[in-house]
A and B are shown apart, each in its own frame.
Chain A
Amino acid sequence: KAGVTQTPRYLIKTRGQQVTLSCSPISGHRSVSWYQQTPGQGLQFLFEYFSETQRNKGNFPGRFSGRQFSNSRSEMNVSTLELGDSALYLCASSVGVYNEQFFGPGTRLTVL
């Protein structure tokens, strides 16, 4: 069974631009979650989707948004990038959020 895949793996953007990250969950998994990891703040929850519905959102500004498609694939978008958005963005999938969650390799975003 293929694992969670994330694209792209690395991304360099400049301030003010926007970016879209993609996550393909493990086949059969309907819950997809996104996390941001920075050296200063650790691993922070962004949002969780289940069957195309956002069930929870972390404490991030409205510039961070996401969606889930009918095939459970998910995207997250960050608009008007700031230097502080430089981070590793991790996606996780599971059958349900209370079940074991599996992470993708992450997208490392650098904002210049």
Chain B
Amino acid sequence: GIQVEQSPPDLILQEGANSTLRCNFSDSVNNLQWFHQNPWGQLINLFYIPSGTKQNGRLSATTVATERYSLLYISSSQTTDSGVYFCAVVTDSSYKLIFGSGTRLLVRP
């Protein structure tokens, strides 16, 4: 089956710094989403981005489907950005999201 790998596994930033999270996947996908899991466990939608580039405030994402990777950019990080970021994909006929193992981000004041 498809492999979804996220890097780095852990990231510590000072407030105000920028960061890039990466998601590599081993097969073509129909759906790619980025989520932020809050301390209470809920997965918050960040981007639905099977291809192309999107921006939402301080966050932006790019998926290069032909090269099988996606990047999540966080600019001017804030302490509230702390948490775990997941990338998840859906492949043809799988009917399920396959998650990477996540990037744990800690933003220090």
Contact = CB atoms under 8 A, between A and B. Distances in A.
B97 interface: yes
B77 to A, nearest CB: 23
B99 interface: yes
Contact of B96 (A48, A88, A102): A48
Nearest to B35: A103
B33 A100 contact: yes
Nearest to A34: B96
A106 B42 contact: yes
B90 A97 contact: yes
Interface stretch (A13-21, A37-45, A63-71, A74-82): A37-45
A101 B97 contact: yes
Interface of A: 31, 33, 35, 37, 42-43, 45, 48, 50, 55-56, 58, 88, 90, 92, 97-106, 108
Interface of B: 30-31, 33, 35, 40-43, 45, 48, 86, 88, 90, 94-99, 101-102
User: What 9 A-B pairs are tightest by C-beta distance, nearest first?
Assistant: A100-B48, A56-B95, A103-B43, A43-B99, A45-B96, A98-B30, A48-B95, A55-B95, A105-B42
Given A42-B99, A101-B97, 17 more contacts: A33-B95, A33-B96, A35-B99, A37-B41, A43-B99, A45-B97, A48-B95, A50-B95, A58-B96, A97-B31, A97-B95, A98-B30, A98-B90, A99-B31, A99-B48, A100-B33, A105-B42
11 contacts: A37-B41, A43-B99, A45-B97, A58-B96, A90-B43, A97-B90, A97-B96, A100-B48, A103-B43, A106-B41, A108-B41
